[in-house]
């Protein structure tokens, strides 16, 4: 079962956070108990997107070993009209906290990996969470690789941009493969995917280039951009095609069709 | 052991003792073979090398598999690791001992079993 999912990409701006938030919200709407984690300590964003007031404990504190994970979990179930099933753990957006996180040494990172790995016991086994979604920083860096190692499955967000295609292929070969991680590719910001034949062509192309299963194709939606990250799209626009695509993705993950 | 001591013990206990000693001997030999294979003469453990993800990435594939499994399990015997990696116990035992010598893992004996683990917490703060 793929219960811990890391959302990662080579380049920034590929839509990791948008995918993480909406995938987590969609799984929660399907009745699953979901924890969404902001592991992008260089540029924390869930704090702003989800507008969580008065955060006292951050994921930084948990990884530093100064508090329990239960103190970091914020219950946002009412946002998706759920009950006790949608939680977030936020990264501290203060400049000082970002600086502190970027100055950690190898031994700290090793302990942080241990703490991420132990979430399987504390949250999945003891607290009956169904899914943990890790939103990460782009590229090869400690916090992201820790998240990948701790995960069962990596959702790789990519766009059609040349620089992104090369880097993503390399990461698939030299990062996820070395850790024997299952991956699913999400091709984001796709132009012109209206017809079935175009979609099939895209699927073939992705399989040829990356040689990994395609988890989803997300067209470029102006409405998503226009929302400016002000709300959880899949929650607030239930009839939008974007929401339907996320719905399909979540179902494929739930039915274990991605491995 | 004196002759009286040997005669005083039950044969089964004696055999178990011999088996235990043989297992220890076997493990030591596996380490020696591994070290010879990789042309390393220095058997002094490197003090507290950290088993972080970048280190994992730079390891040879055969050791990474073992190290990753130990990371997931926390603390395990060669037998337990072998069950997860689908490799022979003796092979895992050799790799684990090599990781101990490289300073990435710690080894602890409890009775007849040897447990391996990555010592995350005891290494100085930050």
Range of the domain at A249: 4-254
Q: In terms of CA atoms, which chain B residue is nearest residue A118?
A: B72
What are the start-end ranges of the H helices in chain A? 16-29, 46-49, 59-64, 69-72, 95-102, 106-117, 119, 142-150, 162-171, 196-210, 222-226, 233-236, 241-254
Q: For residue A242, tell me if it sits in a domain.
A: yes
Q: What is the pLDDT of residues A167-184, one digit of tens each?
A: 999 999 999 999 999 999
Taken as a whole, chain A contains a residue count of 259
Q: For residue A179, tell me if it sits in a domain.
A: yes
Q: What CATH number has the domain bearing residue B10?
A: 1.10.10.10
Cβ neighbours of residue B57 closer than 8 Å, sequence gap 6 or more: A145, A175, A178, A179, B64
- A149 and B118: CB-CB below 8 Å? no
Q: For residue B14, tell me if it sits in a domain.
A: yes
**Helices and strands in chain A, H and E counts:** 13, 8
- A107 and B118: CB-CB below 8 Å? no
Q: For residue A53, tell me if it sits in a domain.
A: yes
Looking at the complex, report in whole angstroms how far the Cα of residue A152 sits from the nearest Cα belonging to chain B.
Answer: 11
Q: What band does B12 get if pLDDT is binned at 50, 70 and 90?
A: confident
Q: For residue A66, tell me if it sits in a domain.
A: yes
Range of the domain at B108: 3-117
Q: For residue A259, tell me if it sits in a domain.
A: no
**B50 reaches A (C-beta below 8 A):** yes
Q: What CATH number has the domain bearing residue A163?
A: 3.40.50.300
- B71 and A113: CB-CB below 8 Å? yes
pLDDT of residue B29: 83
Residue A32 has pLDDT above 70, yes or no: yes
- A106 and B52: CB-CB below 8 Å? yes
**B60 reaches A (C-beta below 8 A):** no
Among A234, A179, A255, which Cα is nearest to A36's?
A234
The two structure tokens encoding residue B104: 């990435």
Contacts of A142 in chain B (CB under 8 A): 52-54
Q: What band does B123 get if pLDDT is binned at 50, 70 and 90?
A: very low
Q: How many CB pairs under 8 A join A and B?
A: 56
pLDDT of residue B38: 67
Contacts of B72 in chain A (CB under 8 A): 117
Q: For residue B103, tell me if it sits in a domain.
A: yes
Give the burial string for B6-18 (b: 16+ CB within 10 Å, else e).
eeeeeeeeeeeee
* Complex ipTM tops 0.90: no
Q: For residue B39, tell me if it sits in a domain.
A: yes
- A175 and B57: CB-CB below 8 Å? yes
Q: For residue B122, tell me if it sits in a domain.
A: no
Q: For residue B126, tell me if it sits in a domain.
A: no
Q: What is the pLDDT of residues A201-215, one digit of tens each?
A: 888 888 888 988 889
Looking at the complex, report in whole angstroms how far the Cα of residue A256 sits from the nearest Cα belonging to chain B.
Answer: 21
- Domain total of chain A: 1
Give chain A's mean pLDDT: 93
Contacts of A107 in chain B (CB under 8 A): 50, 52, 123-124, 126
Q: What band does A26 get if pLDDT is binned at 50, 70 and 90?
A: very high
Which of A48-57, A177-186, A228-237 comes out lowest in average pLDDT? A228-237
Q: For residue B123, tell me if it sits in a domain.
A: no
Contacts of B71 in chain A (CB under 8 A): 113-114, 117, 149
Beta bridge partners of A187: A158, A217
Q: What is the pLDDT of residues B73-98, one digit of tens each?
A: 989 999 999 999 999 999 999 999 99
Q: For residue A89, tell me if it sits in a domain.
A: yes
Cβ neighbours of residue A101 closer than 8 Å, sequence gap 6 or more: A41, A42, A60, A91, A143
Mean local confidence (pLDDT), A212-227: 88
Q: What band does A68 get if pLDDT is binned at 50, 70 and 90?
A: very high
Residue A110 has pLDDT above 90, yes or no: yes
- At B53, phi and psi to the nearest 5? -65, -35
Q: For residue A197, tell me if it sits in a domain.
A: yes
Q: For residue B125, tell me if it sits in a domain.
A: no
Distance, in Å, from the CA atom of A194 to the CA atom of B57, rounded to the nearest integer, reads 41
Distance, in Å, from the CA atom of A161 to the CA atom of A167, rounded to the nearest integer, reads 10
> In the block, which residue shows the tokens 């999912």?
A5
Q: What is the pLDDT of residues B60-73, one digit of tens each?
A: 999 999 999 999 99
- Domain total of chain B: 1
Residue A216 has pLDDT above 80, yes or no: yes
Distance, in Å, from the CA atom of A203 to the CA atom of A258, rounded to the nearest integer, reads 14
Q: For residue B64, tell me if it sits in a domain.
A: yes
């Amino acid at each position: 079962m793929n219960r811990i999912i890391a959302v990662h990409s080579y380049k920034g701006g590929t839509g990791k956070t948008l995918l993480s938030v909406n995938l987590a919200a969609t799984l929660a709407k399907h009745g699953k108990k979901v924890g969404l984690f902001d592991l992008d300590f260089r540029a924390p964003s869930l704090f702003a997107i989800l507008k969580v007031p008065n955060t006292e404990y951050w994921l930084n504190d948990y990884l530093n070993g100064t508090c329990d994970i239960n103190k970091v979990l914020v219950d946002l179930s009412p946002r998706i009209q759920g009950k006790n099933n949608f939680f977030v753990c936020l990264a501290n957006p203060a400049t000082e906290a970002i600086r502190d996180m970027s100055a950690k040494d190898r031994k700290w990172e090793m302990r942080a990996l241990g703490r991420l790995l132990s979430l399987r016991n504390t949250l999945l086994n003891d607290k009956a969470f169904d899914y943990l979604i890790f939103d990460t920083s782009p590229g090869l860096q400690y916090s992201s690789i820790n998240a990948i190692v701790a995960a069962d499955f990596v959702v790789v967000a990519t766009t059609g941009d040349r620089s992104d295609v090369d880097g993503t292929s390399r990461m698939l070969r030299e990062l996820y493969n070395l850790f024997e991680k299952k991956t699913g590719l999400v091709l984001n910001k796709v132009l012109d995917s209206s017809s079935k034949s175009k979609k099939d062509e895209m699927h073939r192309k992705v399989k040829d280039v990356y040689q990994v299963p395609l988890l989803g194709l997300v067209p470029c939606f102006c409405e998503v951009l226009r929302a400016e990250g002000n709300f959880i799209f899949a929650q607030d626009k239930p009839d939008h095609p974007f929401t339907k695509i996320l719905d399909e993705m979540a179902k494929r993950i739930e039915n274990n069709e991605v491995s | 052991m004196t002759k009286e001591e040997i005669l005083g013990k039950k044969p089964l206990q004696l055999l178990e003792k011999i088996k235990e000693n043989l297992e220890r001997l076997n493990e030591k030999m596996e380490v020696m073979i591994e070290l010879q294979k990789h042309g390393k003469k220095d058997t002094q453990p490197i003090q507290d090398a950290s088993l972080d993800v970048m280190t994992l990435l730079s390891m040879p594939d055969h050791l990474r598999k073992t190290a990753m499994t130990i990371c997931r399990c926390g603390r395990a015997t060669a037998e337990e690791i072998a069950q997860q990696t689908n490799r022979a116990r003796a092979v895992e035992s050799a790799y684990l001992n090599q990781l101990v010598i490289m300073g990435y893992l710690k080894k602890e004996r409890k009775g007849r079993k040897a447990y391996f683990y990555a010592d995350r917490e005891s290494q100085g703060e930050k």
